[in-house]
């Protein structure tokens, strides 16, 4: 069997064992007889509205961990998402790396030899319990350094009231032709400002782009991991978007290259958007605004795509302070089902392990997240294991909108991004 499939199989068989090995896991890290140790943890704040959930989560978790491991203390520093990656980079550059960082990317640190690998830190049941696509995305040169902390997938959201006015059933959205037909009816029969919102602005264009590339049958990389951004399938995908949605004025008053995801989501909560691709947090925002919505998988060119887009945030252990055993014990504790499920549930996100995913799937309290959860095992993540990805992603953010603008040429724009990607890849 393939490596990813094999890992999922191992995860399934090991999940039950992981649930019964709390005592073993608690003892596998220890303090190594080196006396009391204080671990430094820097973590991202997921409370976008300024709440205290992230702080309370880590305070409760570290208190429980320290009770089980009297020789280890954990000093927690919470930083906003706009600052956390930069703060950790500054700490590393100053020679004061944290022991553990929960941030957005791991590849540069792994390439510089600053991280412990997963097998140096985690017990076998914990490491084998990660969902296959997430574990694969945490690898650099076939070695896992990035430990997935939390995940999400994307679905097509639609406004049920607008769909009823247009005489469209969301369940009928299976192909791109269905999507175009629905957008045309929304434009003709409703006051929707954005029949289909297409945010290709610089905020997160790389994610919107990847969703469309996957639905068109390709993606950012080929089967051996080389960039394939300007493949014929990808060019055809953006040509379809330009010809059938943008040029037909079905994407609203703001040019896709100038529309950011946040603004598109806000317009959806105002009832101005018929359809758009969204992540789980949009459910809560739309619900609070009183927008009745439905969700389906993003239609593909000829039907449901083989893969959907997945996204993960990462946690990692730094070598600098030499606390491998203590960091390992802490991370084994972090990935217990109780902790994984609590954080994911509190933040409308998805668990990263097989056993926690199965538990969420069986829990009616998480019913709204289950459609996203269903997409995760077959999802494809951006090529975050490439040190070139940050540069390529930035190129996509700032350039891809030009592919669908009036007079734009998708083949030319994707070709330019593809050439830049090849240069960046060769420099890895």
Q: Do 62 and 203 share a domain, yes or no? A: no
Distances from the Cα of 223 to the Cα of 228, 297, 411, angstroms: 10, 23, 21
Q: Is residue 383 part of a domain?
A: no
Tokens 């303090």 locate to 31
DSSP, collapsed to helix, strand or coil, labels residue 203 as coil
Low-confidence ranges of the chain (pLDDT < 50): 1-34
| Encoded tokens for 4 | 């990813």
Reported for 56-59, long-range contacts at CB under 8 A and 24+ positions apart, including other chains, are: 57/342, 57/343, 57/346
What predicted TM-score, i.e. pTM, was given to this entire model?
0.85
Q: How far apart are CA 260 and CA 195, in angstroms?
A: 16
Q: Do 267 and 218 share a domain, yes or no? A: yes
Q: Is residue 10 part of a domain?
A: yes
Determine how β-strand 194-196 pairs with β-strand 273-278: parallel
Half-sphere exposure of 172 toward its Cβ, with a 13 Å CA cutoff?
Answer: 12
Q: Which residues pair with 310 in a beta bridge?
A: 153
Q: Do 169 and 79 share a domain, yes or no? A: no
What pLDDT does 35 receive? 54
**Model confidence pLDDT, tens digit, residues 13-38:** 444 444 434 433 333 433 334 459 99
Q: How far apart are CA 88 and CA 98, in angstroms?
A: 8
Q: Do 95 and 196 share a domain, yes or no? A: no
Q: Is residue 236 part of a domain?
A: yes
**Model confidence pLDDT, tens digit, residues 308-347:** 999 999 999 999 999 999 999 999 999 999 999 999 998 9
The total of other beta-carbon atoms located within 10 Å of residue 182's CB is: 26
Q: Do 356 and 417 share a domain, yes or no? A: no
Q: Which of 339, 354, 378 is the last residue of a domain?
A: 378
Q: Do 177 and 105 share a domain, yes or no? A: no
Find, among 266, 242, 230, the residue nearest to 395 by Cα. 230
Distances from the Cα of 132 to the Cα of 38, 219, 378, 380, 381, angstroms: 32, 18, 9, 10, 11
Question: Domain of 282?
Answer: 155-307+388-426
What pLDDT does 12 receive? 40
Q: Do 162 and 148 share a domain, yes or no? A: no
Sheet containing 37-45, strands listed edge to edge, beginning at the edge strand earlier in sequence: 72-80, 37-45, 100-103, 310-317, 147-153
Q: Largest Cα–Cα distance of the chain, in whole Å?
A: 73
Q: Do 132 and 225 share a domain, yes or no? A: no
Q: Do 220 and 194 share a domain, yes or no? A: yes
Q: Do 46 and 111 share a domain, yes or no? A: yes
Instruction: Kindly write down the DSSP assignment for every residue of 213-243, as one continuous string.
Output: HHHTT--SB-TTS-B-TT-HHHHHHHHHHII
Cβ(257)–Cβ(202) below 8 Å: no
What pLDDT does 1 receive? 36
What pLDDT does 14 receive? 42
205, 211, 214, 215: CA torsion to nearest 10: -130
E strand or H helix at 310: strand 310-317
353: CATH: 3.40.190.10
Q: Is residue 239 part of a domain?
A: yes
Q: How far apart are CA 213 and CA 227, in angstroms?
A: 13
> Which burial class, exposed, middle or buried, applies to 109 when counting CB atoms under 10 A from its CB (0-12, 13-18, 19+)?
buried
Q: Is residue 84 part of a domain?
A: yes
Q: Do 228 and 360 share a domain, yes or no? A: no
Q: Which of 359, 378, 397 is the last residue of a domain?
A: 378
Q: Do 113 and 182 share a domain, yes or no? A: no
Q: Is residue 232 part of a domain?
A: yes
Instruction: Kindly write down the DSSP assignment for every residue of 243-282, as one continuous string.
Output: IIIITTT-S-SS-GGG--HHHHHHHHHTT-EEEEEE-THH
E strand or H helix at 341: helix 337-346
E strand or H helix at 43: strand 37-45
What is the number of domains present in the chain?
A: 2
Q: What counts of helices (H) and strands (E) characterise the chain?
A: 20, 11
Q: What are phi and psi of 287, to 5 degrees?
A: -60, -45
């Amino acid at each position: 069997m393939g490596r990813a499939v094999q890992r999922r199989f191992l995860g399934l068989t090991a999940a039950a064992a992981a649930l019964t090995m709390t005592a073993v896991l608690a003892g596998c890290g220890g303090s190594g007889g080196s006396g009391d140790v204080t671990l430094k943890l820097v973590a991202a704040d997921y409370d976008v509205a300024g709440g205290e959930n992230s702080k309370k989560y880590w305070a409760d978790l570290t208190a429980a961990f320290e009770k089980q491991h009297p020789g280890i203390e954990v000093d927690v520093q919470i930083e906003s998402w706009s600052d956390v990656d930069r703060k950790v980079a500054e700490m590393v550059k100053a020679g004061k790396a944290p022991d553990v960082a929960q941030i957005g990317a791991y590849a540069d640190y792994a390439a510089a030899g600053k991280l412990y690998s997963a097998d140096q830190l985690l017990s076998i049941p914990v490491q084998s319990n990660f969902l296959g696509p997430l574990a694969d995305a945490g690898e650099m040169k076939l070695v896992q350094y990035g430990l997935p902390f939390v995940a999400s997938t994307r679905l097509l959201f639609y406004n049920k009231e607008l769909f009823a006015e247009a005489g469209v059933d969301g369940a009928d959205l299976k192909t791109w032709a269905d999507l175009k037909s629905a957008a045309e009816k929304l434009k003709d029969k409703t006051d929707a400002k954005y029949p289909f919102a297409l945010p290709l602005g610089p905020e997160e264009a790389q994610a919107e782009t990847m969703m469309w590339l996957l639905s068109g049958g390709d993606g950012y990389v080929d089967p051996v991991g080389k960039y394939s951004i300007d493949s014929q399938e990808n060019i055809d995908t953006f040509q379809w978007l330009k010809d059938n949605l943008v040029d037909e004025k079905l994407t609203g008053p703001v040019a896709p290259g100038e529309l950011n995801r946040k603004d598109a989501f806000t317009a959806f909560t105002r009832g101005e958007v018929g359809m758009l691709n969204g992540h789980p947090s949009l459910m809560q925002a739309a619900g609070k605004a009183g927008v009745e919505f439905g969700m389906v998988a993003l239609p593909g060119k000829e039907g449901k795509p083989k893969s959907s887009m997945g996204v993960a945030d990462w946690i990692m252990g730094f070598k600098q302070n030499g606390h491998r055993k203590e960091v390992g014990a802490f991370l084994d504790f972090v990935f217990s089902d109780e902790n994984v499920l609590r954080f994911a549930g509190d933040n409308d996100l998805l668990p990263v392990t097989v056993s926690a995913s199965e538990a969420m799937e069986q829990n009616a309290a998480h019913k709204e997240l289950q459609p996203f959860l269903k997409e995760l095992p077959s999802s494809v993540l951006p090529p975050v294991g490439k040190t070139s990805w940050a540069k390529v992603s930035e190129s996509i953010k700032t350039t891809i909108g030009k592919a669908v603008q009036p007079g734009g040429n998708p083949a030319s724009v994707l070709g330019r991004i593809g050439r830049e990607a090849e240069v960046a890849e060769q420099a890895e």
